[in-house]
Amino acid sequence: MLSPTEMMLMVGQAAMVIDSLEQQEAEMKYFRYGMAKRIKCPYCEHKGQSVLEESTPIHAWLLCFAVYILMGIYSFVVMPCIIGLLRD
């Protein structure tokens, strides 16, 4: 039978393991949903996860809106090019 101090020590260690597993699960969800990209270091060839997000800045959306106003329905041909060029 375990003494109360041994039991408390075991419970504390189990709590640390559970917290660690929950943190790893949260990181896996973060990477799984595309919020990070897999990158390769050009210097050391290390492959890892990047935490940078790709997003289109506000000035690209404003430029697309201006092109839409100027060109009308034909602007839908040009908009993917504008957004692709101005993406971070």
Domain ranges across the chain: 1-52, 54-88
pLDDT of residue 16: 92
The whole-angstrom separation of Cα 81 and Cα 1 is 71
Inter-residue contact 48 to 36 (CB < 8 Å): no
Q: For the segment 18-68, what is each residue's pLDDT rounded down to a tens digit?
A: 998 888 887 776 666 555 566 777 777 777 766 655 667 788 888 888 988
Contacts of 63 (CB under 8 A, 6+ apart): 82, 86
pTM over 0.75: no
- Residue 40, strand partner residues: 47
Q: What SS3 state is found at 16?
A: helix
